[in-house]
Chain A
Amino acid sequence: MIRLLQIEFIKLWNNRISKILILSYFILLTSIALVAAIKFDIGPIKFHLAEQGIFNFPYIWHFTTYIAAFFKLFLAIVIVSMMANEYVNKTIKQNLIDGLSKKEFVLSKFLTVVSFALISTLFVFVVSLVLGLVYSDYNEPAIMLSDLEFIAAFFVKLVGFFTLCLFLGILVKRSAFALGFLILWMIVEQLLFGFLAWILASWDTAAAIKDLFPLQSMSNLIDEPFSRLNAVQSVAAQMGEKFALDYHVHWYEILIVLAWTAIFIYGSYALLRKRDL
């Protein structure tokens, strides 16, 4: 396992563009901390974002994982191209001739992707912890460590998304086209949703089915955190609206994403086994 990771590390780390993208990704993850510095001071209006409660435990787990998930696109580019480049340079053929089995090949890519997700999760955890310790109004361990489900959901979400990228890289074999395909897939999920609603004549059933789609299921894992903010809640209350949002991470949401992960990995392996190189 270490050997497979090392092989992939050599391939990635010697590629300048991959190296730059990976480094900027982790720098961006850390830069979430900079949100704390957002301050408006315009005459009578004083606004300091850090004092709006976004860094309060346990809310911060929800907030940072939600924001950090946007940066995953950086790694998506790296992952799609690390797969597609093997086809473009035909190095996949040479790897297999040199004695890497097809299973080992897919496994080395999957392990890399899992490591990416693991390191990202660790980063987000540490950044959130530090921000929370500095700005949170509550520092009791019981409160601090509640809602850690978001960290787990973040990990699962990244693994799911990255394996999708791997699969697209193998399927399309060209990084630019694979990324285009990813965007196309996003649109297709929405179109399919509209189409289902029209066929079934019910938005609720269509939405329930849509929750099973790969990208939708990944985004379901972490709901948007903004309507949980006190400020937003109180504004809504004044307007006579009341949000009753279920923002928790559900076990079945995790299960759906894990199922997709398994399908994508098996699909990549099946494609590789079926194809002549």
Chain B
Amino acid sequence: MTAVKNLSFTIEKGNVYGILGPNGSGKSTTLGIVLNVVNKTHGDFFWFDGHTSTHDALKKVGAIIERPNFYPYMTATQNLKLVCMIKEVSEEKIEEKLEIVGLLDRKDSKFRTYSLGMKQRLAIASALLNDPEILILDEPTNGLDPQGIHQIREIIKQIAAQGTTILLASHLLDEVEKVCSHVIILRKGEKLYSGRVDGMRASHGFFELKSDNPDHLKAYLERSASFGEVKLENGLVTAILKEEMDAAELNRSLVSQGIVLSHLVKRKESLEEQFLALTENQANPKTP
């Protein structure tokens, strides 16, 4: 069983990267390999300049993977003290980091009494203890309620604003869209896309139109150089733009042609539709 194959990418300082992919696409496996908890069969990875051993590199990295793992019988402070000792950093940052994630008033409660959202926030505090150069977050909002999701995202943005490089794995598109500057899209362990998030939705959008005479409208649009594909379904014409054009301009030119519209909407394709389109195309290669 191959979880990840032929995947390669580089991340640069100061950006927020998203690894996006459906469940089981190899996100956690990829992170597991660079964090040295999953054994790789082939290939190599390097931390920082390439001269740092993984063991030393991990001390400059903060990472949380899937579920927060702490000793249930120990308090937040005791757990964080242990992490400090493992990372070989001083314990003075504990309170500061607990403050960031809003857990300072619960610092002496045992970990097992925490809610999932609090556990996840404690995990972030723990990952921040060594002021990491890179923060790796694997599905940090998984299983949280909307309020918890919001809190975590705010914390991530706050950390990103301070210039920490972040690598965030998620299967949620809007999460990546809201938080990340760059994205790597995975499907079944293979890379589908890698680049800027706004580069991914470089399309110009499309129009949804209705008219008394749809066939006439369709024929006109097909003749125009500004449009690519034009579809007519149940009286609704969908025309995909090949170049930028605003709705008023289209309306004006249609009226001058004697075509009167009863419905006109301009839409941007959502990231979600694009993501599905990207993964769809790879799943079923189009037959000629």
Contact = CB atoms under 8 A, between A and B. Distances in A.
B70 A91 contact: yes
B72 A101 contact: no
Interface stretch (B75-83, B225-233, B234-242): B75-83
A7 B126 CA distance: 16
A100 interface: yes
A96 B126 CA distance: 14
A274 interface: yes
A6 B63 CA distance: 23
Contact of B55 (A14, A95, A99, A274): A99
A94 interface: yes
A40 B81 CA distance: 54
A7 B82 contact: yes
B88 interface: yes
Contacts of A14: 71, 73-74, 78
Contacts, number: 69
Contact of B70 (A89, A273, A274): A89
Contacts of A7: 82, 85-86
Contacts of B82: 7, 10-11
A6 B84 CA distance: 12
B184 interface: no
A89 B59 CA distance: 22
A98 B58 contact: yes
Given A3-B85, A10-B85, A97 B35 contact: yes
Contact of B69 (A11, A94, A100): A94
Interface residues of B, number: 29
B37 interface: yes
A90 interface: yes
Interface in A1-24: 3, 6-7, 10-11, 14-16
A91 B123 CA distance: 12
Interface in A96-119: 96-101
Given A3-B88, A10-B85, A99-B86, A94 B39 contact: no
B135 to A, nearest CB: 12
Nearest to B57: A99
B250 interface: no
Nearest to A85: B71
Nearest to A95: B86
What is the predominant secondary structure among interface residues of chain A facing chain B?
A: helix
A277 interface: yes
A41 interface: no
A98 to B, nearest CB: 5
B7 to A, nearest CB: 17
B87 A99 contact: yes
Contacts of A96: 35-37
Given A90-B67, A97-B63, A99-B58, A15 B73 contact: yes
B38 interface: yes
A93 interface: yes
Interface string A245-277: 000000000000000000000000000011011
A10 B82 CA distance: 7
B69 A93 contact: yes
A11 B58 CA distance: 21
B69 to A, nearest CB: 4
A100 B82 CA distance: 11
Nearest to A18: B73
A91 to B, nearest CB: 5
B65 interface: yes
Contacts of B35: 96-97
Contacts of A100: 86
A90 B70 CA distance: 8
B69 A90 contact: yes
B71 A11 contact: yes
A102 B70 CA distance: 18
A277 B31 CA distance: 12
Contacts of B73: 14-16
Contacts of A89: 69-72
A97 B83 contact: no
25 contacts: A6-B85, A7-B85, A10-B85, A14-B73, A14-B74, A15-B71, A16-B73, A89-B71, A90-B67, A90-B69, A91-B69, A93-B69, A94-B65, A94-B69, A96-B35, A97-B36, A97-B58, A97-B64, A97-B65, A98-B83, A99-B59, A273-B39, A274-B39, A276-B32, A277-B32
Interface of B: 32, 35-39, 55, 58-59, 61, 63-65, 67, 69-74, 78, 81-83, 85-88, 126
Given A89-B71, A97-B37, A97-B58, 5 more contacts: A6-B85, A95-B86, A97-B36, A98-B87, A99-B87
Interface of A: 3, 6-7, 10-11, 14-16, 89-91, 93-101, 273-274, 276-277
